[in-house]
Chains A and B, each alone.
Chain A
Amino acid sequence: DTAVSQTPKYLVTQMGNDKSIKCEQNLGHDTMYWYKQDSKKFLKIMFSYNNKELIINETVPNRFSPKSPDKAHLNLHINSLELGDSAVYFCASSPSQLVLADTQYFGPGTRLTVL
């Protein structure tokens, strides 16, 4: 059973297009995250949702819009894609945002390439 799943695994698109990445977790966790990993493997948090509500919104262009239809899903929509958006995007979940010692469980990643 896949705990945190993401689709698609690979996404190749042209500059200026709009694309979405979907994430689902079947762990019953309250909190979900989006991370961006750049070409140097540096991981940076983008967003965090707790029970469908946005709790962390780091300095991310407003072309990126997360949406959480329910606490098991957190999707990422990106408008007007730019070359610099090329990266691997990871979804993660944890039991609760209130428990900082909680382990985060990561999805397999979506490799986005903008041409």
Chain B
Amino acid sequence: AQSVTQLGSHVSVSEGALVLLRCNYSSSVPPYLFWYVQYPNQGLQLLLKYTTGATLVKGINGFEAEFKKSETSFHLTKPSAHMSDAAEYFCAVSEVNSGNTPLVFGKGTRLSVIA
């Protein structure tokens, strides 16, 4: 069964600094990988996803993530943090051939951006 580990429940960066949120997954078959963002008091929305093809995936708001099979990682980055990036970020995995197995979410990483 697939699982997701997000390292660091809380990450704090200065405005303009690099954002790096870590995600490692466990899957017995090629996975589909997702990053969702949850702004305060809102539902989740998709930032980006990896299905097949290019391993560097670009998403909304300047975020990108790279699928590294050898490291079983899908870390999320953004070159320059903005105050509006403060939110909760969730990595999620879905397995190919998993039938009805749903998305499995990590425990989330709260990103704080300091002015």
Contacts and interface: CB of A to CB of B under 8 A. Distances in A.
Contacts of B95: 100
User: Which interface class (under 10, 10 to 19, 20 to 34, 35 or more) fits B?
Assistant: 20 to 34
Contact of A56 (B34, B44, B88, B102): B102
Contacts of A103: 34, 46, 49
Interface string A25-43: 0000000010000001111
A108 B43 contact: yes
Contact of A40 (B43, B44, B107): B107
Contact of B108 (A41, A92, A97, A100): A41
B103 A45 contact: yes
**Which of B88, B90, B100 is the most central at the interface, judged by chain A CB atoms within 10 Å of its CB?**
B100
Contact of B43 (A42, A56, A109): A109
Interface residues of A, number: 23
Contacts, number: 55
A56 B45 contact: no
A23 B36 CA distance: 20
Contacts of B12: none
A66 interface: no
B90 A48 contact: no
> Chain B at the A interface: mostly helix, strand, loop or mixed?
strand
Contacts of A56: 100, 102
A104 interface: yes
B33 to A, nearest CB: 10
A108 B51 contact: no
Given A41-B38, A43-B105, A100-B98, 7 more contacts: A33-B102, A42-B105, A44-B105, A48-B102, A100-B94, A104-B44, A108-B41
24 contacts: A40-B107, A41-B107, A43-B108, A44-B105, A45-B102, A45-B103, A48-B102, A55-B100, A56-B100, A56-B102, A92-B44, A97-B100, A100-B94, A100-B96, A101-B94, A103-B46, A103-B49, A104-B44, A104-B46, A104-B103, A106-B36, A106-B45, A108-B42, A108-B43
